[in-house]
């Protein structure tokens, strides 16, 4: 995709200062500028880069004054950062603006596909699946029987959605994620073997959810594992069966939530966190990276850290002591010596007296 | 799939109390009941739900007495929970009862496929692979050269099995798992580069093993990485090269086992646990979530926690002190002050005397 | 693949002692020997196995003296271990020596494929992708638009490479890894919703990099996430957007690196380690398994452990105290009692005097 300075000025409502026909085909930071790239300049700290940048076009503030003649074309706008962010989005949407169904996809006759959808090569859409309008399903994705996918949702390459699961509108699921595999349920038998407990529930993902690459969300034993609207999950996250994650909660990579745990809304959970099964986390709770929780967090807005996790202020106090535990240890040794001496002196005193 | 109350009563050996022709097409918890769903009622705590449930059929105990007229049809059985669990399984098997080979699969001429197998769209079966009877291989799965898969085993969508690996009978492997990728072996060179150590062993998975989604089990350098019969692995687990996991051991999500470690049988390992390489874990050991083990656990039946992991009773005692380390810290400060005072007084006394 | 003793002797430059026509088709440890396998004997500790091994051929040292008549054929070489390692590599290369393009692959007309490449079944090569010479792309892999793959690189089955990413020469990427999924970037809005920040950068992987199975490396927001030459990443690792990993750094399974962090060269990072975002790790740093780092490591060659991570010598000292914290606790209790007694006695003394 190529754009002229004129095209860009039109998209962001700016005025051109330089060659209106110069072309760009990518975006770059001003300090990494290269020919045919577009950059922006918002922070005065970066002003000096304007003289040396190799970018062909730079977005600057309306009142920007160059100190010397510039080789790049300027586009003047009220807010270069916002203009640039808007361009990012436009660029991103253009790139993803695919439609049409590949002749190499396998689509069951009983499946329904909405208008304006993109179905890539080697995609499988199984019986009775319902795919909404403007959905994009990239190559190698698998949509199981009876799955429903809301409008505007994107499945990146290699996404696997098992039967009966429901995905909302305007969701994005990244490559290799597995939605709806069996929950981990086995009943111990007297001979040390385990008998599988059938997992016949499903996964329900509401609207505006983003799910990273290679994340796994297990189907419920019965009922649904539920990811509420606006939730953002990073890569390689494990969500166990019958878990529920509340609205707009954000979870960083490699965290795991064991079965039947309920996480509140607007929570922020760091990377590599572990939540035990059957616990409840209140709304707006923040959990630090690598924390481990084995019990409920009842107070909304709590900030907790550590494994087992405790309140952040206690954690910080305690970890500071922990990291100097050797000094504490020596102080105790010193105390013991001093006391022994005091006792010895006392006995000496008594003997003397 | 639809069933009448009469069908269900036949399947579970129960008697009908209500309309024998009412139809159900799904299962639901009694509190989530909806028309055309079947529920069960075993725990007296849940008895009140029978009056308000919208489920069409409810399994109850033979001697159950309703307190008021009910809108649902009852099926009376000796043990409603067991009857329901059996129905779960029947339902699950019906759903999975696929057979036949997709014309879109790629099957090498030298591969052997057993009777009654299901091979889905875009599956690859490579040269000299041997697939047993009643095996189900869902779309996008890859079976490498010389792989053997025992009878009754299911590969869910997108499973990858590298060449030479052996999978037993009645196993289930979930979507996106990778069996037999190269072990992580590199020999450091004098110039700071690493030279790859060829990994030419394989992975052997015995019978009745279940492996979750996106789990990775590396092939041995030489010989085999071995998963013994009855083992259950959850999602996103890492099993390094030449590891051996003993019979009926169960491991929760996101745990990792480094190369050449040997885990005993009937062990239970929690989520996000890390086992270092070249260690041995005895039989029937239980390891708590997020534990880290760098050395052998020799005593069968040990229960260990923490990182580095220690015996559970010591761990609990120590973590209780740790979580109050600030109090301990203040007590030491107080002790020091008191002793200083005692010393000062003593010096005072001596001066006086 | 089958080889005679004569073939093997030719490959390793050895002399045959026994039947030159005996055939082998696999490699095995001498203690696991079986007919048609080749083993080696280097360590004198293993000499007794030579009498009982069932292997057909054994590599031994030039001057090896059998104590009794042997059923196996010997091949005498200067260094049996090195000869065996060379055979491993030859065997490995033969196995992987595929070429040709499957008629079941989907290759865009605008893509360029180098000489001698292998493109497997159901592979997708998108518009404007450039694939170098001798590249091997196994079934179900996805190569996005504008992706460049250097010569001699192998993508194992089910690898996903998003648009615009660049992979160097002689790299190996294992099954299910996802390169170039969107970085985890969301701007919080006043209504608790998050707005996605478009991620339009890419991932650049330099030469001689190996990436394990189901690992995820996110594309940069702008610019590149960079994996420098010689890096080795194990399975299930998470690399966030705009991260840079220095030359020849090795990272074990399930570790995670948050966005914009920069790891030096020649580092060794253990399994399940977490690095926070926006930090810098110096060269040649070693980080123990399960460590958690929230701040820079400035000193090259540092060895650190724990979460939060500290220097190894302090960690060991502190963890030794931690693991005996209960004893320390009792010592403090004892001190308090002793002091109370001393004070009481003092008061007694004063009363007496």
Query: What value of ipTM does the predicted structure carry?
Result: 0.87
Q: What pLDDT sits at residue A343?
A: 81
> What's the CA gap between A98 and A135, in Å, rounded?
10
Report whether pLDDT(C65) > 80.
yes
Contact yes or no for B289/A276 (Cβ under 8 A)? yes
Contact residues, chain C, for B311 at CB < 8 Å: none
Chain C closest-CA separation from residue A150 CA (Å): 19
User: Domain B3-95, CATH 3.40.1390.10 — does that match?
Assistant: yes
Confidence band, pLDDT 50/70/90 cuts, at residue B217: very high
Q: What pLDDT sits at residue B352?
A: 67
Measured CA to CA in angstroms, residue C109 lies from C163, C164, C264 at distances of 16, 17, 40
Of B120, B175, B343, the CB nearest to A342: B343
Q: For chains B and C, what is the number of CB pairs under 8 angstroms?
A: 179
Of C200, C308, C322, the CB nearest to A88: C200
Q: Which residues sit opposite B202 in a β-bridge?
A: B224
Contact residues, chain C, for A253 at CB < 8 Å: 184, 216, 238, 240, 256, 258
Contact residues, chain C, for B222 at CB < 8 Å: 27-29, 88
Q: Among C38, C163, C55, which Cα is nearest to C111's?
A: C163
CATH number, domain A100-313: 2.160.10.10
Q: Which residues sit opposite A161 in a β-bridge?
A: A143, A179
Chain B closest-CA separation from residue A198 CA (Å): 6
Touching subunits of A (3+ CB pairs, under 8 Å) are B, C
Interface test with A, best of C142, C257, C261 (most A CBs within 10 A): C142
Interface test with A, best of B53, B91, B213 (most A CBs within 10 A): B213
Give the CA radius of gyration of chain B. Answer: 29
Contact yes or no for B85/A186 (Cβ under 8 A)? no
- Least confident range from C27-31, C47-51, C147-151: namely C27-31
Chain A closest-CA separation from residue B67 CA (Å): 27
Q: Which residue of B has its CA nearest to A140?
A: B140
DSSP code, position C192: S
Report the percentage of chain A scoring pLDDT > 70.
99
Q: Which residues sit opposite C59 in a β-bridge?
A: C40, C75
Touching subunits of B (3+ CB pairs, under 8 Å) are A, C
Question: What are the structure tokens assigned to B284, written together?
Answer: 């029937």
Residue-by-residue DSSP string for C291-328:
-EE-S-B-STT-EEETTTTEEHHHHHHHHHHHTTHHHH
Helix (H) / strand (E) element for C335: namely: helix C325-352
> What's the CA gap between C35 and C57, in Å, rounded?
9
Report whether pLDDT(C63) > 70.
yes
**3-state SS class at B66:** coil
User: How confident is the model over A20-35, as pLDDT tens digits?
Assistant: 999 998 888 888 888 9
Across chain C, mean pLDDT equals 93
User: How confident is the model over B4-54, as pLDDT tens digits?
Assistant: 999 999 999 999 999 999 999 888 888 888 898 999 998 888 888 999 999
What pTM did the predictor assign? 0.89
Report whether pLDDT(B245) > 70.
yes
Higher pLDDT, C195 or C117: C117
Helices in A192-324 by DSSP H: which ranges? 312-322
B306: left (phi over 0), alpha (psi -120 to 50) or beta: left
Q: What pLDDT sits at residue C308?
A: 92
Catalogue the long-range contacts made by A334-342 (C-beta closer than 8 Å, 24 or more residues apart): A335/B332, A335/B335, A335/B336, A335/B339, A335/C335, A336/C331, A336/C335, A338/B339, A338/B343, A339/B339, A339/C335, A339/C338, A339/C339, A339/C342, A342/B339, A342/B342, A342/B343, A342/B346, A342/C342
A309: left (phi over 0), alpha (psi -120 to 50) or beta: beta
Task: Kindly report the backbone phi and psi dihedral angles of residue B56, in degrees, each rounded to the nearest multiple of 5, phi listed first.
Answer: -80, -35
Concerning whether C241 is annotated as a catalytic residue, the answer is yes
Report the percentage of chain B scoring pLDDT > 90.
73
Q: Which residues sit opposite A286 in a β-bridge?
A: A268, A303
Contact yes or no for B198/B220 (Cβ under 8 A)? no
Across chain B, mean pLDDT equals 93
Report whether pLDDT(C346) > 90.
no
User: How confident is the model over C244-264, as pLDDT tens digits?
Assistant: 999 999 999 999 999 999 999
CB contact under 8 A, B196 and C214: no
CB contact under 8 A, C336 and B331: yes
Q: What pLDDT sits at residue A82?
A: 86
The contacts of residue A41 (CB under 8 Å, 6+ apart) are A30, A47, A49, A50, A58, A59, A60, A61, A64, A80
Q: What pLDDT sits at residue C339?
A: 86
**3-state SS class at B314:** helix
Contact yes or no for A273/A290 (Cβ under 8 A)? yes
Given the DSSP bridges, would you call strands C136-137 and C118-119 parallel, antiparallel or unpaired?
parallel
User: How confident is the model over A240-271, as pLDDT tens digits?
Assistant: 999 999 999 999 999 999 999 999 999 999 99
Q: Which residue of C has its CA nearest to A307?
A: C307
Go through B149-185 and write b for each residue having 16 or more CB atoms within 10 A of its CB, e for each that does not. bbbbbbbbbbbbbbbbbbbbbbbbbbbbbbbbbbbbb
Report whether pLDDT(B103) > 80.
yes
Confidence band, pLDDT 50/70/90 cuts, at residue C131: very high
> What's the CA gap between A177 and A238, in Å, rounded?
10
Higher pLDDT, B86 or B107: B107
> What's the CA gap between A304 and A306, in Å, rounded?
7
Chain B closest-CA separation from residue C189 CA (Å): 32
Given the DSSP bridges, would you call strands C130-131 and C148-149 parallel, antiparallel or unpaired?
parallel
Q: Which residue of A has its CA nearest to B337?
A: A335
Chain B closest-CA separation from residue C130 CA (Å): 25
Q: What pLDDT sits at residue B350?
A: 67
Of C122, C175, C326, the CB nearest to B178: C175
User: How confident is the model over A46-82, as pLDDT tens digits?
Assistant: 888 999 999 999 999 999 998 889 999 999 999 998 8
Q: For chains A and B, what is the number of CB pairs under 8 angstroms?
A: 179
Block residue for tokens 């006391």 = A339
User: How confident is the model over B72-95, as pLDDT tens digits?
Assistant: 999 999 999 888 888 888 877 777
Across chain A, mean pLDDT equals 93
Of A32, A176, A328, the CB nearest to C176: A176
For residues B268-289, give the mean pLDDT: 98
> What's the CA gap between B201 and B184, in Å, rounded?
13
> What's the CA gap between A84 and A79, in Å, rounded?
9
A223: left (phi over 0), alpha (psi -120 to 50) or beta: left
Contact residues, chain A, for C256 at CB < 8 Å: 236, 253-254, 271-272
CB contact under 8 A, C335 and B335: yes
Of C197, C236, C332, the CB nearest to A236: C236
Rounded to a whole number of angstroms, the distance between the first and last alpha carbons of chain B is 100
**3-state SS class at C347:** helix
User: How confident is the model over A273-313, as pLDDT tens digits?
Assistant: 999 999 999 999 999 999 999 999 999 999 999 999 999 99
CB contact under 8 A, A200 and B92: yes
Q: Which residue of B has its CA nearest to C326?
A: B318
């Amino acid at each position: 995709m190529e754009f002229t300075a004129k095209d860009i000025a039109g998209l962001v409502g700016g005025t051109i200062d330089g060659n209106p026909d110069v072309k760009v085909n990518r975006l770059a930071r001003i300090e990494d500028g290269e020919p045919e790239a577009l950059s922006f300049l918002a922070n005065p700290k970066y002003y000096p880069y304007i003289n040396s940048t190799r970018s062909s076009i730079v977005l600057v503030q309306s009142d920007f004054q160059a100190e010397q003649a510039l080789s790049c074309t300027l586009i003047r706008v009220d807010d270069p950062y916002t203009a640039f962010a808007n361009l990012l989005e436009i660029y991103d949407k253009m790139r993803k603006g695919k439609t049409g169904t590949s002749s190499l996809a396998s689509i069951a006759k009983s499946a329904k596909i909405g208008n304006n959808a993109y179905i890539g090569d080697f995609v499988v859409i199984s019986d009775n699946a319902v795919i909404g309008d403007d959905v994009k399903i990239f190559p190698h994705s698998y949509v199981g029987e009876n799955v429903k996918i809301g409008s505007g949702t994107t499945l990146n390459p290699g996404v696997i959605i098992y039967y009966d699961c429901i995905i909302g509108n305007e969701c994005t699921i990244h490559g290799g994620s597995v939605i709806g595999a069996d929950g981990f349920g086995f009943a111990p038998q007297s001979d040390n073997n385990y008998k599988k407990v059938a997992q016949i529930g499903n996964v329900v993902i509401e609207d505006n959810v983003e799910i990273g690459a290679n994340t796994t969300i297990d189907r419920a034993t019965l009922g649904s594992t539920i990811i509420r609207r606006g939730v953002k999950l990073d890569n390689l996250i494990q969500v166990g069966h019958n878990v529920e994650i509340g609205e707009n909660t954000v979870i960083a990579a490699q965290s795991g939530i064991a079965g039947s745990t309920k996480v509140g809304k607007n929570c922020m959970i760091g990377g590599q966190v572990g939540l035990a099964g059957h616990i409840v986390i209140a709304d707006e709770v923040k959990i630090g990276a690598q924390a481990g929780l084995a019990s409920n967090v009842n107070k909304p807005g709590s900030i907790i850290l550590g494994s087992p996790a405790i309140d952040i202020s206690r954690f910080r106090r305690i970890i500071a002591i922990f990291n100097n535990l050797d000094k504490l240890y020596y102080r105790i040794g010193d105390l013991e010596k001093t006391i022994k001496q005091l006792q010895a002196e006392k006995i000496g005193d008594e003997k003397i007296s």
